[in-house]
Structure 1
């Protein structure tokens, strides 16, 4: 990634992170695009160059993680598929530099705020759209890795659906437990459940 692309990726991440934090802290309805742009240190026009709505900005953080998972699956082709999937998922859902730079507020309040944010119809709709795109990207990566034909073979799509289901289920369990269960072991457990019962394409 060149300097220009890296700067664009950093701006996108900063906007998404700002949208999430503000929605959690204030409530989704109380956050404007102008607020998100200001928190990220850019103009509203710059926000509009990246996202069409604050819901899209919120979901973008997860979307980019899944794109990273798909890219990681195209690496290390000799590694067993489900080992590669588990490594890619747990790596991309680990705390990153952006979250380390912005320590979370009180964990209990944060979790409650995330629950409310994810209950917003606009966010849920954007999540569904992003999930469909994520499954397509992961299926393509799995097909490339295994030599399957994604237009004729069902299995890459089953694997992709299993990966997104594991991520969604682990996230939901993380948010409903008190205190929240750590994500890494939840993701590993969920993926292992599929790995032991869903054959490699």
Structure 2
């Protein structure tokens, strides 16, 4: 499995994961700052202080490098769900797992709104067709892994039961919709409250407003 599970393995695996994260963050930062077409693999490798050969060991191109940020974070949500207390209700555990990845060191509601220029850069970056395809692939991989974690927690079979895939799809969509909502907002909008609201609406069964 590409990238493995964050938090697992020994020192070597953790070092590899840090390199992967550094490359992905560098790819995103440069694409936002310079524009997609102005960024090369060589630029990304240099920004992460590694060789182009090392970049190629992790990613096939810059689109995969950018999408890795989303894939790895969703995988960490699955990992976090696996270690939540067994007697914790599923949706409570799932919400806590999401919060742990989007605001690991502070309350989700305290995460500030992004810089408007950065939001504009991300909007433009996300219109790139190659990146859209890679993000769709990453989303599918992440959803499968989250479904597997949900199946383990609920004692269901993802090959037979709809439930784990449905919950994973709902949770993944809530995250995606919350991010998209914030990116499209006219004024800079903090992700935390929007993401919490999306998850709480799911947990309540999406009642009609």
TM-score by length of 1: 0.90
- After superposition, the C-alpha distances for 1:5-58 in whole angstroms (9 at most, x for unaligned) are 111011000000000000000001110000000000000000000000100000
CA RMSD of aligned residues (A): 1.4
- The residue that corresponds to 1:52 in the other structure is 60
- The residue that corresponds to 1:103 in the other structure is none
Q: What is the number of residues matched between the two proteins?
A: 189
Report deviation, 1:94.
2.2
Question: Are 1:152 and 2:193 matched, yes or no?
Answer: no
Alignment partner of 2:194 out of 170, 174, 186: 186
Q: Is the 8 A contact 1:24 1:114 kept in 2?
A: yes
Alignment partner of 2:86 out of 48, 60, 77: 77
- The residue that corresponds to 2:174 in the other structure is 166
Q: Unaligned stretches of 5+ in structure 2?
A: 1-8, 106-113
TM-score by length of 2: 0.87
- The residue that corresponds to 2:184 in the other structure is 176
CA–CA separation in structure 2 for the residues paired with 1:178 and 1:88: 29
Alignment partner of 1:133 out of 135, 141, 144: 141
- The residue that corresponds to 1:100 in the other structure is none
- After superposition, the C-alpha distances for 1:104-145 in whole angstroms (9 at most, x for unaligned) are xx8111110000001110111001101111110011100000
Residues 109-128 of structure 1 aligned to structure 2 (within 5 Å): 109-128=117-136
CA–CA separation in structure 2 for the residues paired with 1:49 and 1:2: 19
- The residue that corresponds to 1:66 in the other structure is 74
Q: Is the 8 A contact 1:89 1:187 kept in 2?
A: no
CA–CA separation in structure 2 for the residues paired with 1:173 and 1:62: 16
Q: Unaligned stretches of 5+ in structure 1?
A: 97-105
- After superposition, the C-alpha distances for 1:53-111 in whole angstroms (9 at most, x for unaligned) are 10000010111000000011111221111111111112212277xxxxxxxxx811111
CA–CA separation in structure 2 for the residues paired with 1:82 and 1:185: 17
CA–CA separation in structure 2 for the residues paired with 1:118 and 1:79: 36
